[in-house]
Amino acid sequence: MVVEEMGLLRSALRTVLSSEQDLEVVAEIGDGAEILPVAGRAGPDVVVVDVDLTAADTRGVLTRLREQVPHAAVLALSGRWTADSLRRVLAAGTLGFAGTDVTPAQFVRIVRSVAAGNRVIDPAVAAAVLNPPPNPLTTREREILRAAAEGLPPKEIASRLYLAHGTVRNRMSAILRKTGARNRLEAIRRAQERGWL
């Protein structure tokens, strides 16, 4: 079973797997909310999940998947692995971990190995986790983002950190730019996933 939001990538994964004589794609979905009901009906041996699904509590869904469909091994895919994201998915009982840049042949090997019950960590994932990119946020920007993560509005952040309201606003703009986020909630999530907070 393939779970991937991006239609083009989902189709590519299906094509790669379907081209193998001993592998069959029993279901493919683009919405993380459908994982449990579809897996329950389709009964896959392996569930390939993009853990960067935007609208899903991935760890919660994967934990429930292990409880409700215990025979299904999970292979987690991500384009941006961090130590924290690997830990969270590992805690959910995932067997395989791969980057979205693996070759088709590597991907098929990993799927087969996970189906056989083996734990597999793609070397590129291990390298990304062991050698994370440097934190681009300054100490002050991290303080502002931590306060924002507590739910404080900009004026309260300014008061707590003894800053002008305009300074907090300017620093938040810099944080959004550095994290590549559209809003502060996304900036908080991305910074936490990358181990910057």
Give residue-wise pLDDT tens across range 107-138. 999 999 999 999 999 888 888 777 766 889 99
Q: In the prediction, which pLDDT does 56 show?
A: 61
Q: In the prediction, which pLDDT does 32 show?
A: 80
Domains held by the chain: number: 2
Q: In the prediction, which pLDDT does 22 show?
A: 94
67 and 112 co-located in one domain: yes
Task: Find the angle CA(9)-CA(12)-CA(18) to the nearest 5 degrees.
Answer: 140
* Domain region containing 111: 2-130
Domain boundary (106, 130, 154) is at 130
Give the contacts of 145 (CB within 8 A, at least 6 positions apart): 137, 175, 184, 187, 188, 191, 197
Q: In the prediction, which pLDDT does 55 show?
A: 57
124 and 179 co-located in one domain: no
Segments in the chain below pLDDT 70: 53-56, 132-133
